[in-house]
């Protein structure tokens, strides 16, 4: 096992093994015959018991014994002593099997089944469990069974919590005891049991408790995992919160000409809407929610627009819940005087119904107000031949000059709420985290500990997220980035995780303030333009392996992520204004990694050249995105066959699902293994609006 060569058995050991195998085969043959013939005699049951004593993982044998018990129960309903005898025998069979393998799922499950019938005494169960847990304290099967028995015995959570205290005191390395402690403490905190309130007092005590384990043996992972759980309990919010929106509160949007969008007071936005007939409204929550509809989110305006808004979840895997939701203002045929603006007010959560995926209700009703001015009515777009191509060369980007006075890009600061989002307690969570940072700085000054550095990085990140108003400034970003860089060198086995966290931290720092964000903004203008058409956020050459901070980027219309190490665009669907996207020179291995692009209907120009699409026969990273093989995905096979009508492209279902429904006018795919002439012909059929393919204008 694990690459070690298997030693040859001694002759006497080989003979014993051969005898055991013959015995097992004989028992299996007899057992299967009895099972097939539904034979439940005493002799047949003994055969199954012997088989299970040798091989407790024989699930068929356990199921056979259940059928046998049901058979005898039917015959012995009027004899309580006989019924008790039947179940006592089952408990003995299970105990014998557990002596052979005390981690047998089938054996523990069968014992649960026996006790759930209510005929057997449970007085002996805890003593039995203690014997098995002494043999192996990290026995999850035994701990799950203990929770089952404790519930049957109506033992209090406090008693079980104290039991974990005893086991941890005897052995800090008992990970299962730490895990059970977290389960019990969650219940006690939720109920507000006596001695477990207020929350900050209990968590402070638990931090002190786990410090003993960490400083005693820093190389043992048990206490570190419990510390991570405590940190999550400290910073997490149970109820969902609206963290940003587009348009943000206080913004002013002007539609000039047919589709030119300008604004101030909320972003660096300027450029062209993909569809001047509609204007997206985006709500970004801190966790996935459901129940976003016209009753829970009310849009008020004097515009002659649709009153019944349809809110859509921006998710590729779930049709009911999402972290980001969108609806659209319909602006077709609306006439405005150039000097007149129309206020729009959005009320979020004033009526109950918004619920998180964990079952918590939205508890902070919010108001978003912005002004909209449409200076001309919508007219049909110019002929397709006038569509211009986007050039991503450095010569087309100029230093960005911003004339706005807005102090911050982060729109969460401009939300107005009826309830103050600041906790009523005195920032106890910030005090706890600050204390933990001091503790772990001291630990790392004494020894070079990988998991200690990881924990310190997480603590510093948490500190920046809760220490308002400094959270926007990401005061610890440089130190966190340095820690993850060190971890990539110290622990190359987990370097992908560290690199992802490094990328997310870097993006949080870049997007946290206007000053840092402006460094990466450029005006886009090609040789034929007299004025800049877009503000482009250029995040190329940053070695990004993952992208995030989308709550701060909903204003972006042009985004350059080229020359990075991205394998997925998960979360990019939140950027509903995105019109031009450059993903060239990354590490995308399949079209399923691009699935979120299907939800960005504004997308016009896409560059995915020089990736690895088509190079891998099996995409091992497909779990990052949904696919037609997922039950939540409904693949339009009929449209696929009718549109393409050729068996030669039957293996192009992934790009069909990705591009079908998009209105791309420009696509660059050269440099990928998949990009041959057959595939280019396929793209022309799937994308009827396409005018530029790999830099060449289509006829």
Q: Is residue 305 part of a domain?
A: yes
% the chain with pLDDT above 70: 81
- What's the CA gap between 666 and 689, in Å, rounded? 9
**Residues 29 and 162 reside in one and the same domain:** yes
Between 146 and 633, the more confident residue is 146
**Residues 231 and 251 reside in one and the same domain:** no
Question: In the prediction, which pLDDT does 411 show?
Answer: 38
pLDDT above 50 for 265: no
DSSP state, residue 559: E
Q: Is residue 323 part of a domain?
A: yes
Question: In the prediction, which pLDDT does 626 show?
Answer: 42
Q: How would you classify the pairing of strands 534-538 and 580-582? A: unpaired
**Residues 337 and 265 reside in one and the same domain:** yes
Angle, CA 351 vertex, CA 345 and CA 357 arms, to 5°: 105
Domain count, the chain: 2
What's the pLDDT band for 423 if we cut at 50, 70, 90?
A: very low
The candidate with the shortest Cα–Cα distance to 103, out of 130, 133, 137, 141, is 141
The mean pLDDT of 283-303, rounded to a whole number, is 90
**Residues 123 and 228 reside in one and the same domain:** yes
- What's the CA gap between 430 and 611, in Å, rounded? 43
Question: In the prediction, which pLDDT does 44 show?
Answer: 94
Q: Give pLDDT tens digits for 508-543.
A: 999 988 888 889 999 888 766 655 567 899 999 999
pLDDT above 60 for 244: yes
pTM (predicted TM-score): 0.85
Between 125 and 269, the more confident residue is 125
CATH number, domain with residue 66: 1.25.40.120
**Residues 255 and 230 reside in one and the same domain:** no
Most confidently modeled range among 186-195, 287-296, 314-323, 377-386: 287-296
**Residues 213 and 314 reside in one and the same domain:** no
**Residues 229 and 266 reside in one and the same domain:** no
Structure tokens at 415: 């939300």
Give, for 438, the enclosing helix (H) or strand (E).
helix 428-446
Q: Which residues pair with 692 in a beta bridge?
A: 666, 697
Structure tokens at 396: 């087309």
- What's the CA gap between 695 and 607, in Å, rounded? 10
Q: Which of 129-138, 299-308, 414-423 has the lowest mean pLDDT?
A: 414-423
What's the pLDDT band for 691 if we cut at 50, 70, 90?
A: very high
Q: Give pLDDT tens digits for 449-469.
A: 899 999 999 999 999 887 654
pLDDT above 50 for 418: no
pLDDT above 70 for 262: no
Give, for 442, the enclosing helix (H) or strand (E).
helix 428-446
Q: Which of 417, 438, 460 is the last residue of a domain?
A: 417
Q: Across all residues in the chain, what is the average pLDDT?
A: 83
The phi, psi pair for 571, rounded to 5°, reads 100, -15
Q: Which of 182, 217, 235 is the last residue of a domain?
A: 235
- Whether omega for the bond prior to residue 198 falls within 30 degrees of 0, making it cis, is yes
The mean pLDDT of 121-130, rounded to a whole number, is 88
Q: Is residue 470 part of a domain?
A: no
Question: In the prediction, which pLDDT does 140 show?
Answer: 86
According to the 3-state scheme, what is the secondary structure of 133-145? HHHCCCCHHHHHH
30's CB contacts (< 8 A; 6+ apart) are 47
What's the pLDDT band for 425 if we cut at 50, 70, 90?
A: very low
Q: Which residues pair with 230 in a beta bridge?
A: none
Q: Is residue 148 part of a domain?
A: yes
Q: How would you classify the pairing of strands 366-374 and 252-256? A: parallel
What's the pLDDT band for 272 if we cut at 50, 70, 90?
A: very low
**Residues 216 and 298 reside in one and the same domain:** no
pLDDT above 90 for 374: no
Between 648 and 107, the more confident residue is 107
DSSP string, 671-696: TSTT-SHHHHHHHHHH-TT--EETTE
Domain limits at 161?
Answer: 11-235
pLDDT above 70 for 170: yes
Distances, alpha carbon 620 to alpha carbons 441, 597, 624, in Å: 38, 20, 9
**Residues 280 and 219 reside in one and the same domain:** no
The mean pLDDT of 295-303, rounded to a whole number, is 85
Question: In the prediction, which pLDDT does 74 show?
Answer: 83
pLDDT above 70 for 274: no
**Residues 114 and 217 reside in one and the same domain:** yes
**Residues 215 and 349 reside in one and the same domain:** no
Q: Is residue 94 part of a domain?
A: yes
Q: Give pLDDT tens digits for 435-453.
A: 999 999 999 998 888 999 9
CB count within 10 Å of CB 87 equals 19
What's the pLDDT band for 585 if we cut at 50, 70, 90?
A: very high
pLDDT above 50 for 160: yes
CB count within 10 Å of CB 262 equals 13
What's the pLDDT band for 387 if we cut at 50, 70, 90?
A: low
Question: What b/e readout covers 208-230, taking b as 16+ CB neighbours within 10 angstroms?
Answer: ebbbebbeeebebebbbbbbebb
Question: In the prediction, which pLDDT does 109 show?
Answer: 95
| Tokens 């190490």, residue located | 565
pLDDT above 90 for 583: yes
Q: Which of 417, 443, 472 is the last residue of a domain?
A: 417
pLDDT above 60 for 1: no
Question: In the prediction, which pLDDT does 481 show?
Answer: 97
Q: Is residue 691 part of a domain?
A: no
The phi, psi pair for 136, rounded to 5°, reads -155, 100
User: Distance from CA of residue 431 to its chain's centroid?
Assistant: 28
Q: Is residue 402 part of a domain?
A: no
Structure tokens at 559: 């985004």
Most confidently modeled range among 251-260, 310-319, 385-394, 654-663: 654-663
pLDDT above 60 for 380: no
CATH number, domain with residue 344: 2.60.40
pLDDT above 70 for 409: no
Q: Is residue 396 part of a domain?
A: no
- What's the CA gap between 353 and 639, in Å, rounded? 37
- What's the CA gap between 605 and 613, in Å, rounded? 18
**Residues 122 and 265 reside in one and the same domain:** no
The answer to whether residues 566 and 588 touch, using CB atoms and an 8 Å cutoff, is: yes
Question: In the prediction, which pLDDT does 506 show?
Answer: 97
């Amino acid at each position: 096992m694990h690459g070690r060569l298997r030693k040859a058995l001694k002759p006497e050991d080989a003979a014993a093994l051969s005898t055991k195998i013959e015995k097992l085969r004989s028992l299996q043959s007899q057992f299967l015959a009895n099972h097939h013939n539904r034979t439940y005699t005493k002799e047949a049951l003994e055969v199954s018991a012997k088989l299970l004593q040798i091989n407790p993982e024989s699930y068929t044998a356990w199921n056979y014994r259940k059928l046998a018990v049901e058979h005898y129960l039917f015959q012995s309903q009027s004899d309580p002593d006989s019924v008790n005898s039947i179940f006592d025998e089952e408990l003995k069979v299970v105990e014998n099997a557990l002596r052979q393998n005390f981690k047998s799922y089938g054996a523990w499950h069968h014992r649960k089944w026996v006790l759930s019938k209510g005929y057997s005494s449970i007085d002996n169960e805890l003593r039995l469990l203690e014997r098995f847990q002494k043999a192996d304290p990290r026995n999850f099967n035994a701990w799950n069974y203990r929770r089952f028995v404790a519930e049957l015995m109506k033992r209090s959570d406090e008693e079980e919590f104290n039991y974990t205290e005893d086991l941890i005191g005897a052995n800090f390395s008992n990970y299962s005891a730490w895990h059970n402690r977290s389960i019990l403490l969650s219940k006690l905190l939720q109920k507000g049991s006596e001695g477990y309130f207020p929350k900050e007092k209990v968590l402070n005590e638990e931090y002190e408790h786990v410090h003993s384990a960490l400083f005693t043996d820093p190389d043992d992972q048990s206490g570190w995992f419990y510390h991570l759980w405590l940190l999550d309990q400290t910073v997490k919010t149970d109820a969902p919160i609206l963290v940003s929106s587009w348009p943000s509160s206080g913004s002013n949007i002007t539609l000039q000409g047919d589709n030119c969008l300008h604004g101030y007071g909320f972003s660096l936005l300027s450029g062209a809407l993909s569809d001047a007939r509609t204007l997206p409204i985006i709500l970004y929550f801190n966790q996935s929610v459901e129940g976003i509809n016209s009753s829970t989110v009310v849009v008020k305006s004097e515009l002659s627009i649709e009153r019944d808004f349809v809110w859509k979840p921006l998710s590729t895997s779930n049709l009911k819940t999402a972290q980001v939701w969108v609806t659209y203002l319909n602006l077709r045929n609306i006439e405005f005087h150039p000097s007149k603006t129309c206020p729009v007010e959005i009320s979020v959560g004033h009526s109950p119904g918004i619920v998180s995926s964990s079952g918590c209700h939205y508890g902070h009703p919010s108001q978003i107000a912005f002004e909209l001015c449409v200076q001309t009515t919508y007219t049909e777009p110019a002929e397709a031949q006038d569509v211009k191509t986007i050039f991503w060369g450095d010569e087309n980007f100029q230093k960005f000059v911003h004339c706005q006075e807005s102090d911050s890009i982060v729109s969460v600061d401009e939300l107005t709420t009826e309830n103050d989002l600041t906790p009523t307690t005195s920032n106890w969570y910030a005090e706890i985290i600050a204390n933990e940072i001091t503790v772990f700085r001291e630990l790392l000054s004494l020894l070079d500990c990988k998991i200690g550095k990881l924990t310190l990085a997480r603590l510093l990140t948490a500190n920046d997220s809760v220490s308002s108003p400094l959270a926007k400034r990401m005061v610890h970003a440089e130190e966190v980035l340095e820690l993850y860089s060190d971890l990539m060198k110290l622990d190359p086995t987990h370097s992908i995780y560290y690199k992802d966290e490094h990328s997310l931290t870097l993006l949080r720092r870049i997007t946290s303030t206007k000053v840092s964000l402006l460094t990466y903004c450029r005006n886009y203008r090609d040789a034929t333009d007299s004025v800049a058409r877009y503000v482009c956020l250029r995040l190329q050459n940053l070695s990004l392996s993952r992208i995030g901070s989308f709550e701060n980027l909903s204003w972006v219309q042009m985004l350059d992520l080229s020359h990075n190490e991205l394998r997925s665009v998960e979360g990019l669907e939140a950027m509903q204004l995105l019109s031009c996207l450059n993903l060239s020179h990354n590490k995308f291995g399949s079209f399923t990694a691009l699935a979120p692009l299907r939800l960005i209907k504004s997308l016009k120009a896409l560059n995915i050249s020089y990736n690895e699409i088509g190079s891998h026969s099996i995409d091992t990273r497909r779990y990052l995105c949904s696919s037609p093989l997922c039950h939540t995905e409904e693949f339009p096979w009929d449209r696929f066959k009718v549109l393409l009508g050729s068996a030669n492209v039957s293996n192009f279902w992934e790009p069909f699902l990705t591009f079908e429904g998009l209105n791309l006018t420009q696509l660059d795919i050269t440099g990928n293994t998949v990009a041959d002439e057959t595939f280019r012909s396929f793209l022309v059929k799937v994308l009827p609006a396409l005018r530029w393919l790999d830099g060449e204008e289509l006829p």
